[in-house]
Amino acid sequence: MKLLTHNMLTSKFMKGVVKGYPLGIVASEVKEVAVDYNPDFVCRMIPKLEWGSLCSAADSIGKLGDLPKELPENIESNQDFLKKVHHLLMEVEVISGNLICPETGRKFPINNGIPNMLLNEDEV
C-alpha cells in the first residue's frame, strides 16, 4: 500500500464511526521501490491530499524526513519539494502490517502490500 492510497482511505463505512480518518498505520514491513518521477501527476494529486495526515502517516513509519508540516506555496516550480512528495506518495510501500480505525481500534490487515478492508458478517 502506497501512502497516496492511505491518504484516501477511511473506515467511515463501519457502524457508528463518524469520520474514520486518518487510519493509523502499524507497519511490520516497509519497502521502497523506484517509480518514474512525474511532476505533473504529483501536482495533480497534492490538492486531493490531506497534508496533515500524510505527514503523520509518514512519521509513523519513520519516513517523514525533512518534509514541512505545512504545505508550502508555489509548489509547481519547487522541484526539490515535488521529488520528496513523489517519493513519499509513490515509492514508499507498506508491505505488511495493520491499518487501524481511529475511533474503534478495529484492525485492517495488510498482506503482500494489499490492505484487507473487509468487515466480518457480524459487523455489517
Residues that bind other proteins (CB under 8 A): 1-2, 4-5, 7-13, 21, 35-36, 38, 40-41, 44-45, 48, 50, 90, 111-122, 124
Q: Residue 59 CB, nearest distance to other proteins (Å)?
A: 19
- Rounded distance, CA 78 to CA 72, Å? 9
- Written as nine digits, the cell of 51 is 497534508
Nearest residue (CB) to other proteins, 4 versus 27? 4
Nearest residue (CB) to other proteins, 19 versus 69? 19
Q: Residue 91 CB, nearest distance to other proteins (Å)?
A: 10
Q: Residue 69 CB, nearest distance to other proteins (Å)?
A: 20
Nearest residue (CB) to other proteins, 64 versus 95? 95
Give me the sign of the Cα torsion angle 80, 81, 86, 91. positive
Among all chains, which residue has been given the C-alpha cell 507497519? 27
Half-sphere exposure of 117 (CA within 13 A, CB side): 13
Among all chains, which residue has been given the C-alpha cell 490492505? 115
